[in-house]
Structure 1
């Protein structure tokens, strides 16, 4: 089995490598190719990857290259984890929206739109090259904004599934609070990427006992603290929103915070410098503890599980993924991309039935889906007016004066990445 990781020079990658090494019985990888245009970073990461494989007794071959076509040739699956523009672009995404009083974040709001505009054309070009190399290859997208990028891939006819670590992170946290194995926890997870709610926490499988009321009653303070939302709000909702909902439920509070502290991009850039220095140590043969603060917790387990299921291995049959709606949420178009539990196998991901969604959440889901439609249109066809329409439609923007100002700033900060600008 050959797997290719596009963006293999990311400091995330050793987390993924550790998962491939530990879970080799689930996903037996013979050749792992890391491809990245940043050769210096790539060699540091690749060297550590080989040492991790060796330490854990994995006999697979780790290859590093900057030749994308060679990297994807014959690949059974291709994982996308690229960041167009790097941390410098992320720093901008998290900064200029604040000038207009809007949340500055790399996947949500105006910053998320900027990232989509930079990313979608690049990902579609990569996907076409994958299709030419092996039409049967699966594309697993971890590149944000996952929902928009996955929809672009699916609409272009690619064999693609989107992946996020929010659900697996909550599964692990809930399992620890309940004192059970993570595999025993099944989430009633519903919404869009980075806009989801856990409406049930079931033990034993999709039809198991719902212990969410007990979880909130006994551990509500811990859950609320982790989400940085008030405990009374969780009690009133009776569900657990993802931490990205804080950008909606406490927008002004978050904006005030972001204006008075270093950006997450600055923190990550500093952390990356430290990590790359560690990766260059020939004695290091395991992922360093610092990597846990970088983000992407449990990404490796989720990626291995998904790839194994898609490639006919022993991955879990039910996983939370991003895929076409296909009537799962009846208030959305069939070709909207939703993030829900799905049955995953060699033919892809088939969403499981979802209970009726409370209008409190359905309304916001429908609103953001409309924004994502317009965002993808802007990413595919370009133009100032399309960018303005997407921003005006976003619930975190919504006012024409803000949309005008943000459109000008977005284009000014991203001109080098926008072919039409």
Structure 2
């Protein structure tokens, strides 16, 4: 790594999140000796890359910096001699997310981008691509750090470490960041006066909190969450309270995504209502994206607009910048990241990827020990982690039986013929992005499997009804 002239690459550079990433680098200009920023995308994303790339250049210029901002569709050229690589891409673009949400909805099941059937398929599409990126990195920038916030972040990081055999990687999620931003004020504290400990896997973790006298204040925060009705939820999660008695028993704060499991009936009802009203979150995000890129085209806009917060995923990019700065300067910052367990959660094997509080420095992430879970949480985390492993195996091997196992083990998909039919339809709907399943998909099409949801089918037929 060059400490005088850093080369930082972002794959998925045409993302609407890129302005937050650039803002994060600008905020840390005294900490990072940046020379080059490369924004990389694919031909289908070239128009957005050009728009957001021009804005990135304006932001850098307005900050009075001489950084070189490069826009390219040539990933290998960008990766050559990179020091840090961040990944924020979506295989299949937002159209694939529409399918992930609407096709399960047509079966009366939850449609969500990182949970249930939709989350499984996002991983199946993404893992082969991230492993191809890792292959390029081994050749072109073998000393680089990979900072991943492509969702489902934990599963992707697991694939990078286990199948890519690449350990210079940190997976990020904005959910813990939001908890640490929102919760201290509930008990009239500042973050610097609190100690947070998180443990679990991405989008399925819990946390506890202590003040600077060593007193645990987890229950104080829980009590205020109910008193203030301030859940600090990501934009894409329907707000329904956890059962208070459950939180009092576990004495931990679950992440927002636990609602899909702890309040499954209510979350499913809300998801199906959105589906019936042709208003799934993916379709809403498409509208927000259109508004954002309209703003980004303003030649006078040289700062991150406040509307980006409505996109969901706020603070992802800033967390990536902090991880890079912490590794570069050996800051030993406390962050919540996906990394190898190494005993932090003794209820899971040490070589599995978990999401935990960690110290981030020049050697990467050093996880903090959390300890054993109680039986309920231990049962959940072992089930969910093993489901992740099955999904990862299916993505790498393209084995249909393994993909079916992932559907059957998932708590949000009732097992049986209905689940198998859903799997088959989603395979056909995603055939362009699932070459590892090509033979099985051809067989399913010959059997007459097609996409039945009108909106999802319209995407395949390029009717453009969205």
Residue 172 (structure 1) aligns with: 181
Larger Cα-atom Rg: 2
Residue 211 (structure 2) aligns with: 203
SS at match of 1:283: coil
Residue 157 (structure 1) aligns with: 165
Shift of residue 231 of structure 1? Answer: 6.1
Residue 227 (structure 2) aligns with: 221
Can you list the C-alpha shifts for 1:255-286, whole angstroms capped at 9, x where unaligned?
Answer: 21112221110011111111111111101111
Residue 296 (structure 1) aligns with: 313
Correspondence 1:33 to 2:41: no
CA distance in 2, matches of 1:226, 1:169: 7
Residue 232 (structure 1) aligns with: 244
Moved more, 368-377 or 249-258: 249-258
Residue 52 (structure 1) aligns with: 59
CA distance in 2, matches of 1:180, 1:60: 38
Shift of residue 196 of structure 1? Answer: 0.9
Residue 320 (structure 1) aligns with: 336
CA distance in 2, matches of 1:144, 1:363: 24
Give the RMSD, CA atoms, in angstroms: 1.8
The partner residue of 1:413 within 414, 423, 429 is 429
Moved more, 131-140 or 353-362: 353-362
Q: Give me the TM-score of the superposition, normalised by structure 1.
A: 0.94
Shift of residue 53 of structure 1? Answer: 1.6
Shift of residue 145 of structure 1? Answer: 0.9
CA distance in 1, matches of 2:188, 2:24: 23
CA distance in 1, matches of 2:83, 2:337: 19
Whether the 8 Å CA contact 2:34–2:67 is kept in 1: the answer is yes
Shift of residue 236 of structure 1? Answer: 4.6
SS at match of 2:186: helix
Whether the 8 Å CA contact 2:109–2:272 is kept in 1: the answer is no
Moved more, 157-166 or 26-35: 26-35
SS at match of 1:210: coil
Residue 72 (structure 1) aligns with: 79
Question: Measured at CA, do residues 333 and 271 of structure 1 come closer, stay the same or move farther in structure 2, by a change above 3 Å?
Answer: same
The alignment covers a number of residue pairs equal to 417
Whether the 8 Å CA contact 1:26–1:315 is kept in 2: the answer is no
The partner residue of 1:2 within 7, 21, 24 is 7
Shift of residue 75 of structure 1? Answer: 0.8
Correspondence 1:351 to 2:367: yes
Shift of residue 148 of structure 1? Answer: 1.1
Can you list the C-alpha shifts for 1:170-209, whole angstroms capped at 9, x where unaligned?
Answer: 00001333344434443221111000112x11335xx944
Moved more, 35-44 or 341-350: 341-350
Shift of residue 370 of structure 1? Answer: 1.2
Can you list the C-alpha shifts for 1:353-412, whole angstroms capped at 9, x where unaligned?
Answer: 113212221111100111111101100001321110111011212422343122112212
CA distance in 2, matches of 1:377, 1:139: 21
Whether the 8 Å CA contact 2:205–2:355 is kept in 1: the answer is yes
CA distance in 2, matches of 1:129, 1:315: 29
Residue 49 (structure 2) aligns with: 42
SS at match of 2:285: helix
Whether the 8 Å CA contact 2:344–2:371 is kept in 1: the answer is no
Shift of residue 298 of structure 1? Answer: 1.6
Shift of residue 226 of structure 1? Answer: 4.1
**Structure 1 residues 38-187: aligned runs within 5 Å:** 38-155=45-162, 156-158=164-166, 159-187=168-196
Whether the 8 Å CA contact 1:195–1:245 is kept in 2: the answer is yes
Can you list the C-alpha shifts for 1:4-33, whole angstroms capped at 9, x where unaligned?
Answer: 000000001111111111122233322111
Gapped regions of structure 2 (runs ≥ 5): 1-5, 234-238, 439-466
Question: Measured at CA, do residues 251 and 219 of structure 1 come closer, stay the same or move farther in structure 2, by a change above 3 Å?
Answer: closer
CA distance in 1, matches of 2:334, 2:65: 27
Whether the 8 Å CA contact 2:340–2:350 is kept in 1: the answer is yes
CA distance in 2, matches of 1:94, 1:161: 28
Gapped regions of structure 1 (runs ≥ 5): none
SS at match of 1:79: strand
CA distance in 1, matches of 2:40, 2:281: 26
Shift of residue 289 of structure 1? Answer: 1.2
CA distance in 1, matches of 2:226, 2:31: 35
Whether the 8 Å CA contact 2:195–2:211 is kept in 1: the answer is yes
Residue 266 (structure 2) aligns with: 253
Residue 307 (structure 1) aligns with: 324
The partner residue of 2:17 within 6, 9, 12 is 12
Correspondence 1:242 to 2:258: no
CA distance in 2, matches of 1:111, 1:369: 17
Can you list the C-alpha shifts for 1:101-139, whole angstroms capped at 9, x where unaligned?
Answer: 321111111111101110000111011111211111011
CA distance in 2, matches of 1:43, 1:359: 51
Can you list the C-alpha shifts for 1:65-97, whole angstroms capped at 9, x where unaligned?
Answer: 111011111110100000000000000101111
